[in-house]
Amino acid sequence: MLRLEARPHPSTAALLLAPLLAVLLTLLAGALLFALLGFAPAAALKAFFITPVNSLYGLGELAMKATPLLLCAIGLAVGFRANIWNIGAEGQLLMGAIAGSGVALFLRPADGAPWVLPAMFLAGALGGMAWAAVPAFLKLRFNASEILTSLMLTYVARLFLRWLVGGPWRDPDGYNFPQSPMFAPDAVIPPLLHGTRLGFGALLALAVTLGGWFLLSRTFLGFQIRVIGLTSAAAGYAGFDRGRVTWLSLLLSGALAGIAGLNEVAGPIGQLTPFVSPGYGFTAIIVAFLGRLHPIGILFASLLVALSYLGGESAQISLGLPLAATDVFQGMLLFFLLASEVLVRYRPRLARTRG
């Protein structure tokens, strides 16, 4: 029977080959699935992986779809490394969008006010931070699990957003539909490249990725985070402050999620609506783990997951593949990626018996 033997060091070759193997297996399994459903497998796979990115516009869309995933996942990864289970990035994202929109709607910038967008980004970060501060406080003060509090607060944020845009913040000229007025031109992120919708949020996300890498692998704080995550007891002996790391990781992930939310409303959406995010905060959890909680890995993972979303749309458009098949296919992709990781840390060995 095959058994797994732990490698003394993660294998670099496997690190690079494992995802490729996973993608290959997904292609095979996907082809089978599509054939079973009566679709030409090659055409379906082409629609999934090639069509969405065969143009500049498509590449811009890919980066745009990956941006909120990347921002949220980097923040979450820092927390997950320290065993802080923030699963409410979605709520923090919405609160960031709300706070940033507040700046755009109520400071009514005059034309040519260069400070508006920076102020909105700041407000977005603060909004997300404030929402993440609640689980941090409840965890440290009352010992309440952040898994539960951050998840519950996501529902609260969703309802709060709906109330806000349906009530006090709704567009006075919008026939009472639940949406804010469109933001002034100065409060909307301009596209970086003509012919795409990609704004500088994507560059910011790249900078955050580098920053996250630096924080985790090059600073003493990052070291503390990793130690606390690995062995809480050892961290205690070393005198590392668990409270400080709890605050830091939750506030950081809240801020990044908030920025992600703001980047959506001030970018492609251009107003506050009840539909800021189709669940980026939740998907980012998968992205964080697919990237093995490493910022560079997360960058690639966010692109791959974003591509699978775009691919699902494209397969619906060109082949009429039902969305449910896309979900199944995405699930398979994730399963294979997660399973293939075993090769990085373990070496498969043939052994005679083992239970």
Partner 1 sequence: MDHVTAILVSVLLAAAPLLFAALGELVTEKSGVLNLGVEGMMLVGAVCGFAVTAHSGHAALGILAAALAGMALSALFALLTLVLLANQVATGLALTLFGVGLSALVGKPFVGTPLEKLPDLPLPLLSHLPLLGPLLFDRDPLIYLAALLTLAVGWLLARTRAGLVVRAVGENPEAAHALGYPVRLIRFACILFGGAMAGLGGAYLSLAYTPMWAEDMTAGRGWIALALVVFSTWRPGRLVLGALLFGAFTIAQLHAQALGLAVPPEFLAMLPYLATILVLVLISRDAARIRLNAPAAIGKTFHPDH
Partner 2 sequence: MKFVKWALAAAMTMSLGLPTAHADAPFKAAWIYVGPVSDHGYSFQHDQGRKAVEAALGAKVKTTFVESVPEGADAERVLTQLARDGNKLIFSTSFGFMNATLKVARAFPDVKFEHATGYKRAANVSTFSARFYEGRAVLGTIAGKMTKTGVVGYIASIPIPEVVRGIDAFTIALRKVRPDAKVKVIYVNSWYDPGKEAAAAKALIDQGADVLAQHTDSAAPVQTAEERGVWCFGQSSDMTRYAPHRLLTGIIENWDQYDVAEVKAAMNGSWKSHDTWGGLASGMVKLSPYNPAMPRDVVAAAEKTRQDIIAGKLNPFAGPITDQSGKLVVPAGKSLSDAQLLGLRFYVQGVEGNLPK
**Residues within the interface to partner 1 (CB under 8 A):** 4-6, 37, 80, 85, 138, 142-145, 147-149, 151-153, 155-156, 159-160, 162-163, 166-167, 282, 285-286, 288-290, 322-332, 334-335, 338-339, 341-342, 345-346, 355
Q: In whole angstroms, give the CA distance from residue 293 to residue 289.
A: 5
**196 vs 283, which CB is nearer to partner 1?**
283
CA atoms within 13 A on the CB side of 224: 17
Binding partner 2 (rule: CB under 8 A), the pick from 23, 41, 113, 181 is 41
CB 7 within 8 A of CB 347: yes
Q: In whole angstroms, give the CA distance from residue 189 to residue 202.
A: 11
**114 vs 355, which CB is nearer to partner 1?**
355
How is 67-128 classified by DSSP, letter by letter? HHHHHHHHHHHHHHHTT-----HHHHHHHHHHHHHHHHHHS-PPTT-TTHHHHHHHHHHHHH
**60 vs 102, which CB is nearer to partner 1?**
102
The burial of 349, by beta-carbon neighbours within 10 Å (0-12 exposed, 13-18 middle, 19 or more buried), is given as exposed
Smallest distance from the beta carbon of 183 to partner 2, in angstroms?
Answer: 11
310 makes contact with partner 2 (CB under 8 A): yes
Site for partner 2 in 164-223 (CB under 8 A): 166-167, 174-178, 182, 197
Tell me how far the alpha carbon of residue 56 is from its chain's centroid: 23
**82 vs 202, which CB is nearer to partner 2?**
202
CB 228 within 8 A of CB 242: yes
Question: Which residues are near partner 2 by CB under 8 A?
Answer: 31, 35, 40-43, 46, 57, 61, 64-65, 159, 162-163, 166-167, 174-178, 182, 197, 264, 267-271, 273-278, 309-310, 313-314, 316-318, 320, 322-324
